[in-house]
Amino acid sequence: KQNQKKDKGNAKNKIMSQPTIFIPVDRSPEIQEARLKLPILAEEQVVMEAVRENPCVVICGETGSGKTTQVPQFLYEAGYASGGGIIGITEPRRVAAVSMSHRVAKEMNLPTQVVSYQIRYEGNVTSDTKIKFMTDGVLLKEIQKDFLLQRYSVIIIDEAHERSVYTDILIGLLSRIVPLRNKKAKPLKLLIMSATLRVEDFTDNQKLFKTPPPVIKVDARQFPVTVHFNKRTPLEDYTGEAFHKTCKIHRMLPPGGILVFLTGQAEVHSLCRRLRNAFPFRKSSTVTEGEEEADTSEAMRKFKKAKQKKTMSLPRIDLDNYSALPVDEGDEDREAGIEDEDDGGSDIDLGDDPTDGETKADPSIPLYVLPLYSLLAPEQQAKVFRPPPPGTRLCVIATNVAETSLTIPGIKYVVDCGRVKKRFYDRVTGVSSFKVTWTSQASANQRAGRAGRTEPGHCYRLYSSAVFGDFSLFSEAEITRRPVEDLVLQMKDLNIEKVVNFPFPTPPSAEALAAAEQLLVSLGALEEPPRTGRVKAMQRARLTCPITPLGRAMASFPVAPRYAKMLALGKQQDCLPYVIAVVAAMTVREIFEDLDRPARSEDENSKLTQRRARLAQMRRLWAGQGASLLLGDLMVMLGAVGACEFAGCTPKFCEDNGLRYKAMVEIKRLRGQLTNAVNAVCPEVSVFVDPKMTPPTELQVVCLRQIVLAGLGDHLARRVQAEDILDPKWKNGYKTPLMDDPVFIHPNSALFKTLPDFVVYQEIMETTKMYMRGVSAVEAEWVPQLLPQYCHFGSPLEAPTPWFCSSTGTIRCHRPSTFFRVGWQLPAVEM
């Protein structure tokens, strides 16, 4: 409040047109009663006053204090959505954008045409929309179209503590947009909401806000939580440890929900199954289906009612039904692509604990076990918000979605494995891998806090206090952990030439920015910096390269720059529809079901074996023969997309052939979106999405391979020739410019047996080995023609480029270069 006073002084000249109207909202009595219990309600006046008097306000409040659901309603009631502008709220997670829009619509008793959401591929926004929940990526795209965001009267950046890349960029951009808008008739308000008090990166940042925005702290009635540390820290089997701890709590401690934090879907399902085996859930006869499904959305309720009529005579519904849900792995929930719950490529052994089933539990109090993770179907997710069947104890096994995005009622015990799954990129090589690492102290405390929402609680940490002491204090901002070429291109397109000077809340490293700029120059998206002059001047020039017309076209495609380059080249030889399909397939993280995962039962095992064989067969079929085979994994993707859409893109087709239905639907949408984007940039080609696309001709396949090479030029690898192999580890290995160690073609790849001399790959994933994903064969002679920027034609000793082309026509890769081009020093591998 001190802050606010300080700010009143310079708020004088601001905002003449403050809304004074009060827009009534017709809420049901139950909703109203529940709202009044939320801590943020006590702060409504403070919040609204601060918003009126300041262009930007920061709100900090414990998870569950009502920020996400209530603040948009305050603004709506105060008339911020009645002057023609709308209230926009950004979320880093798609699941939050969708579920919060539904929740707020329900609370306000307004239709979804008014309280709507927009995520990357879908939404229900109409011209009547007043409150719009969206992912941060969606708003960033909108800024590109309309820098001043004229349609909005307020932008709320939610979950800012998560520090997702797009959130950070948005805050940087909005710090500039807000002052511009405040000079106009219709000002724009910015609210930043965070679940933690650590907001200095936003407030004490002269580059961002000259006057620090006021910070409103919402005092959540948090009950004390007793934290219990383990004496020892299990290094491997924390799932087993979590199992034992949960059993103990359930058998020995008084009633109250249990929330267990694990790192990924596979672990969640494994623990759910073990707990259900240990404490079989027998539905008490007093619980009817109707009761159990009590608090659900209108449409859902009608559906259930209809269903209930039909199944009335059945003794019980099958509560175990969800464990049979396909584990939808490898997808991304966030627009920016932090796949913190993704199990893609995970090689953590989830094998059963030998003690499984030995636990003699007291089955008299049933344990009602529910899984919770981002990619869980929304109906399944909604279950955690409802009271458990009477006489049972709720037990939710969750990934870190339950940390801040969603609040589960009635939790008294938290079991925290102390770990989190994160995607790591190697800054130099671009190799990505999923790793389970220790979480931060801030996250661990957030998790513990979940236990004290309704009464005093307990948090059991499955690690020692010494280990906790070694955790980093806070989680790093995502922007410091991933490549930034896409962001740099988007910023250049916004005419932010000196990206280094952008007011990032936390700036990415100079190396990451330099690498991004370098890649974009190689792709032709930015102008080549002058090669002459002093080293310092050159370095400076490299960080301020202006965007080229090609770069503008690329920036308008909603895909990463390498793929955007392919789209830009795609019109040759009528290849565009194929390029669009391939790029769409590459953008969606994984189109094939992961059939290599360990089976959960013997029955499933035999099914999996069958399906694996079927998928292998289909892969061979889709890869085609002869010329098309050389397009490799991308041909398989193209074949799969073509076949699936030919068959009408049905769940059955996907299920039968080992494709992820959700991925195929997303590809279909993305194909439409990319087709529109290409037509907008290049109207003369006029492509359309043909559901009955015929396979490419041999000539087109050659063309496609070249287009792919042009886009993935920095992902070129050369097979190590037999005579060069001194160390057996190089057998069948490939050499890439940036790595000491060999990389390999995955056994599932279409080119596993072919082993072409030169390949390009989509990405390298580190699992048991360094494996290239999305591999295509390229011809040696294309390399100097299509990638002159990466080739050197003189003496190999002086070669400043990764690839050396000798006069005899051989192309070699240098030893891993400490330089990338022209003496570029890159940082050491940092994990």
Structure tokens at 224: 């004390």
What is the Cα–Cα distance from 82 to 103, expressed in whole angstroms? 21
**Nearest approach, Cβ of residue 558 and ligand ADP (Å):** 28
- Residue 66 interacts with, from Mg ion, ligand ADP, none (CB under 5-8 Å by kind): ligand ADP
Subset of residues 500 to 559 that bind ligand ADP, contact rule: CB under 6 A: none
66 lies in the site for ligand ADP, by CB under 6 A:
yes
**Nearest approach, Cβ of residue 91 and Mg ion (Å):** 8
Judged by beta carbon, residue 65 or residue 749, the one nearer ligand ADP is: 65
- Residue 223 interacts with, from Mg ion, ligand ADP, none (CB under 5-8 Å by kind): none
Judged by beta carbon, residue 66 or residue 418, the one nearer ligand ADP is: 66
61 lies in the site for ligand ADP, by CB under 6 A:
yes
Which H or E element spans position 59?
A: strand 56-61
Cα maximum dimension of the chain: 85
**Cross-strand partners of 108:** none
Question: Within 10 A of 147 (CB to CB), how many other CB atoms are there?
Answer: 15
Judged by beta carbon, residue 407 or residue 548, the one nearer ligand ADP is: 407
- Residue 801 interacts with, from ligand ADP, Mg ion, none (CB under 5-8 Å by kind): none
Judged by beta carbon, residue 89 or residue 663, the one nearer ligand ADP is: 89
**Cross-strand partners of 397:** 260, 371
Rule CB under 6 A: choose which of 54, 58, 67, 460 binds ligand ADP.
Answer: 67
When computed from its CA atoms, the radius of gyration of the chain, rounded to whole angstroms, is: 28
SS3 of 317-356: the string is CCHHHHHHCCCCCCCCCECCCCCCCCCCCCCCCCCCCCCC
374 lies in the site for ligand ADP, by CB under 6 A:
no
Binding segment for ligand ADP among 62-70, 349-357, 590-598, 634-642 (CB under 6 A)? 62-70
Residues recorded for the chain: 831
**Nearest approach, Cβ of residue 223 and ligand ADP (Å):** 14
- Integer CA distances (angstroms), 86 to 48, 83, 117, 167, 205, in order: 16, 8, 12, 19, 28
DSSP 344: T
Side-chain-side CA neighbours of 33 within 13 Å: the count stands at 3
Nearest to 243 by CA among 389, 334, 153, 353: 353
Rule CB under 6 A: choose which of 223, 281, 385, 752 binds ligand ADP.
Answer: 385
Judged by beta carbon, residue 475 or residue 762, the one nearer Mg ion is: 475
Please answer whether residues 229 and 468 qualify as being in contact, where contact means their C-beta atoms are separated by less than 8 angstroms.
Answer: yes
Binding segment for ligand ADP among 56-64, 160-168, 254-262, 767-775 (CB under 6 A)? 56-64
The set of residues, in sequence order, having a beta carbon less than 8 Å from that of 333 and lying 6+ positions away, is 93, 94, 95, 339, 341, 374, 375
Rule CB under 6 A: choose which of 7, 38, 172, 744 binds ligand ADP.
Answer: 38
Judged by beta carbon, residue 56 or residue 408, the one nearer ligand ADP is: 408
Please answer whether residues 786 and 709 qualify as being in contact, where contact means their C-beta atoms are separated by less than 8 angstroms.
Answer: yes
- Residue 458 interacts with, from Mg ion, ligand ADP, none (CB under 5-8 Å by kind): none
- Residue 399 interacts with, from Mg ion, ligand ADP, none (CB under 5-8 Å by kind): none
Please answer whether residues 538 and 530 qualify as being in contact, where contact means their C-beta atoms are separated by less than 8 angstroms.
Answer: yes
- Residue 61 interacts with, from Mg ion, ligand ADP, none (CB under 5-8 Å by kind): ligand ADP
Binding segment for ligand ADP among 57-65, 360-368, 622-630, 725-733 (CB under 6 A)? 57-65
Subset of residues 507 to 566 that bind Mg ion, contact rule: CB under 5 A: none
Judged by beta carbon, residue 67 or residue 492, the one nearer Mg ion is: 67
Please answer whether residues 116 and 129 qualify as being in contact, where contact means their C-beta atoms are separated by less than 8 angstroms.
Answer: yes
130 lies in the site for ligand ADP, by CB under 6 A:
no
What is the Cα–Cα distance from 117 to 99, expressed in whole angstroms? 9
Judged by beta carbon, residue 42 or residue 780, the one nearer Mg ion is: 42
Nearest to 15 by CA among 49, 53, 44, 61: 53
- Residue 658 interacts with, from ligand ADP, Mg ion, none (CB under 5-8 Å by kind): none
Per DSSP (E only), the strands in 149-277 are 152-157, 189-194, 215-218, 225-229, 257-261
Nearest to 472 by CA among 426, 415, 418: 418
What is the Cα–Cα distance from 721 to 341, expressed in whole angstroms? 39
x/- letters, 593..612, toward ligand ADP (CB under 6 A): --------------------
x/- letters, 48..67, toward Mg ion (CB under 5 A): -------------------x
Rule CB under 6 A: choose which of 63, 475, 673, 700 binds ligand ADP.
Answer: 63
- Integer CA distances (angstroms), 332 to 8, 119, 527, in order: 43, 12, 33
68 lies in the site for Mg ion, by CB under 5 A:
yes
Judged by beta carbon, residue 107 or residue 332, the one nearer ligand ADP is: 107
| Torsion angles phi and psi, residue 821, rounded to 5 | -145, 155
**Nearest approach, Cβ of residue 88 and ligand ADP (Å):** 16
Judged by beta carbon, residue 91 or residue 633, the one nearer ligand ADP is: 91
Subset of residues 429 to 488 that bind ligand ADP, contact rule: CB under 6 A: none
Structure tokens at 441: 């102290």
- Residue 686 — left, alpha, or beta (φ > 0 → left; ψ -120 to 50 → alpha)? left
What is the Cα–Cα distance from 512 to 614, expressed in whole angstroms? 42
Judged by beta carbon, residue 406 or residue 813, the one nearer Mg ion is: 406
Nearest to 7 by CA among 234, 185, 203: 203
Binding segment for ligand ADP among 67-75, 145-153, 603-611, 792-800 (CB under 6 A)? 67-75
Judged by beta carbon, residue 376 or residue 514, the one nearer ligand ADP is: 376
* Distance from chain centroid for Cα 720: 36
Judged by beta carbon, residue 135 or residue 346, the one nearer ligand ADP is: 135
68 lies in the site for ligand ADP, by CB under 6 A:
yes
Rule CB under 6 A: choose which of 194, 265, 407, 429 binds ligand ADP.
Answer: 407
**Cross-strand partners of 434:** 423
DSSP 507: P
Which H or E element spans position 615?
A: helix 602-623
Judged by beta carbon, residue 67 or residue 660, the one nearer Mg ion is: 67
Rule CB under 6 A: choose which of 55, 60, 69, 478 binds ligand ADP.
Answer: 69
**Closest residue to Mg ion in the complex (CB):** 68
**Nearest approach, Cβ of residue 54 and ligand ADP (Å):** 21
| Torsion angles phi and psi, residue 192, rounded to 5 | -115, 125
Give the footprint of Mg ion on this chain (CB under 5 A).
67-68
Give the footprint of ligand ADP on this chain (CB under 6 A).
38, 61, 63-70, 99, 103, 385, 407, 409
